[in-house]
Structure 1
Amino acid sequence: MGTGEIRSHINVVYRCTYHVVWCPKYRRKVIVGDVDTRLQQIIREACAERDAPIVELETMPDHVHLLVSCDPQYGIHRLVKGVKGRSSRLLRQELPSLKSRMPMLWTNSYFVATVGGATLEVIKEYVENQRNV
Structure 2
Amino acid sequence: MATKRWTCSRTTVYNIGYHLIWCPKYRRKVLEEHIQNRLRELLLEKAYEIGITIEKMEVLPDHVHLFVKSPPTASPHWIVQQLKGYSSRILRQEFPELKSRLPTLWTRSYYCESVGHISQKSVEKYIEQQKNV
- 2:51 corresponds to which letter in structure 1? D
Q: Which residue of 1 aligns with 2:42?
A: 42
Q: Which residue of 2 aligns with 1:61?
A: 61
Q: Can you list the C-alpha shifts for 1:69-128, whole angstroms capped at 9, x where unaligned?
A: 011212221111010001001000000111111120000010000111122111110110
Do structure 1's residue 83 and structure 2's residue 56 form an aligned pair? no
Q: Which residue of 2 aligns with 1:124?
A: 124
Farther off after superposition, 32-41 or 6-15: 6-15
Mapped to 2, the partners of 1:123 and 1:49 lie a distance apart of 32
- 2:40 corresponds to which letter in structure 1? Q
Mapped to 2, the partners of 1:103 and 1:53 lie a distance apart of 30
* Moved >3 Å (runs of 4+): none
The CA deviation at 1:12 is 2.7
Mapped to 2, the partners of 1:23 and 1:88 lie a distance apart of 12
Mapped to 2, the partners of 1:118 and 1:90 lie a distance apart of 37
- 2:82 corresponds to which letter in structure 1? G
Unaligned regions of 5+ residues in structure 2, if any?
A: none
Q: Which residue of 2 aligns with 1:31?
A: 31
Do structure 1's residue 11 and structure 2's residue 11 form an aligned pair? yes
Mapped to 1, the partners of 2:47 and 2:63 lie a distance apart of 18
The CA deviation at 1:13 is 2.3
Between the two proteins, the alignment pairs up a number of residues equal to 132
With the length of structure 2 as denominator, give the TM-score of the two structures: 0.93
With the length of structure 1 as denominator, give the TM-score of the two structures: 0.93
Q: CA RMSD in A?
A: 1.2
Mapped to 1, the partners of 2:38 and 2:107 lie a distance apart of 19
Q: Which residue of 1 aligns with 2:73?
A: 73
Q: Which residue of 2 aligns with 1:94?
A: 94
